[in-house]
Amino acid sequence: MTNKKKKEFIWDGNVRDAALTILLTVDKSQAYSNLLLNDTIEKYNIKDAKDRGLLTELTYGTLQYKYTLDYYLEPFIRGKVDLWVRWLLRLSLYQMHYLTRIPAHAAVNEAVEIAKRRGHKGIAATVNGILRSVLREGVRSMEDITNEVERLAIETSHPEWLVARWVEMYGYAQAGEMLRENNIPPLQTMRVNTTRVTVDEALQILEREGVKARRSEVLPECIHLMSGTAARTSLFKKGFATIQDESSMLPATVLDPQPGERIYDMCAAPGGKTTHIAEKMNNEGKVLASDLHAKKLNLIDENVARLGLDIVEAIPLDGRKSADLLGEASFDRVLVDAPCSGLGVMRRKPDIKYTKREEDLANLQTIQLALLDNAVRILKPGGRLVYSTCTVDRTENEGTVQAFLAKYPQMEAEQMTLPTSLMDKQQNGMLQVFPQDFGSDGFFVASFRKKGE
């Protein structure tokens, strides 16, 4: 079923066609779905909130359940189909199986129309036949899969190697809970810029704009949006708040920077944690933010300017070489938010779970330890070093911490000051947050003190 004259996508108000284009681009170019989604909304000026919401749901939902959808479709597909046709079938079945407010026959009819526009009548007839067969016969049961790990992998649409790894690390029940949580859309969360407004004032501003929001029960400067779009609020545009996942606010919370101190954020772009640090210092002192990729520094500068902070300096620098350039014992506190597999943010970037390989995780630890080597040298005696990742993998987290402490006897794990609800979750100066804990990203934080005064 080859179609060499597939037509180029042109936005005509068809949300499903737009979702299909995004899904194809993610597959072919290994592009990030969240960036493509935002680019599509901006490029075609999709203003209607319902259209934006449906486009987001169709894109993420189809990606989230790719393996599950393939399992359901497999008995109905005869022979080879083009990549775009397979994605169209996945997209359509996602609507039919998971979205109750979209009538199944409407999803089928729309798929047939898209197939006609992008292909020809023969392809449209095939798509129609497959989807109507699914409607008649229903999807097959997961109970046919006898292997527990394989069944969990198909049910939650995660690669089998990853499921097996997490089952071994955390047990079947906890791994299953995390895998299912990965498929639930994340909350919209914002961090209030307390140098400019209080949390109460921020909530009042949102209420006046008709946006439903509430205080977080975990972090005092975090608010949850129950409606609206965070980036379109005046709270964000005026620099009164930052869009940031709640777990991502933990590193600066643990670092606990004080006004007047000299702080180094080693892997800083796009600046969410950098600006959080500056806000916690009440914009008094010095925050040096660096990133290996110079072009990403603009993102830090933009965030700093929007929030009205003036104690941040952003420089291009490889953290693995930072000690030689910045000097020994020159900072009161250092944050190493290290490059990692990103396995804790899969609900925001579902494409990650299909592109990561197990061998990638071991390679990352070498980079993480090299960054920590430099952080030790830069940190003043008595100073605090915080290591964080947005992953839930023990090799990158506890494994890296253990290797680090074995190498540096002058560093000791320290008890963290955390919100009450998280205090009993830390162990030996380490905190692992899972997506199911309070609906945030999976995140890891460890805190160390350098001996001496």
C-alpha distances (whole Å) from 401 to each of 25, 176, 352 are 37, 26, 24
What Å distances lie between residue 226 and 98, 152, 169, 256, CA to CA? 21, 30, 34, 29
Q: How far apart are CA 116 and CA 440, in angstroms?
A: 41
Tell me which residue of 308, 270, 312 sits closest to 288, measured CA to CA.
Answer: 312
Residues 6+ apart with CB under 8 A from 270: 296, 299, 300, 303
Reported as half-sphere exposure (CB side, CA atoms, 13 A), residue 278 has a value of 28
Judging by beta carbons within 10 Å of its beta carbon (0-12, 13-18, 19+), is residue 85 exposed, middle or buried? buried
Q: Strand 312-316 vs strand 286-291: parallel, antiparallel, or unpaired?
A: parallel
Residues 372/336, Cβ–Cβ less than 8 Å: yes
Residue positions counted in the chain? 453
Residue ranges of alpha helices (H) inside 193-243 are: 199-208, 234-237
Burial class (CB in 10 A: 0-12, 13-18, 19+), 207: exposed
For residue 113, count other CB atoms closer than 10 A to its CB: 15
> What gap in Å lies between CA 312 and CA 262, rounded to an integer?
10
Q: What are all long-range contacts of 215-221, with beta carbons under 8 Å and residues at least 24 apart?
A: 216/189, 216/246, 217/421, 217/438, 218/246, 218/419, 218/421, 218/422, 218/438, 219/246, 219/249, 219/250, 219/253, 219/419, 220/419, 221/191, 221/192, 221/194, 221/249, 221/279
Q: Considering only CA atoms, which of 368, 332, 199, 342 is closest in space to residue 255?
A: 332
Catalytic residues: 390
Nearest-CA neighbor of 414 among 382, 375, 373, 376? 382
State how far the Cα of 225 lies from the Cα of 451, in Å rounded to an integer.
42
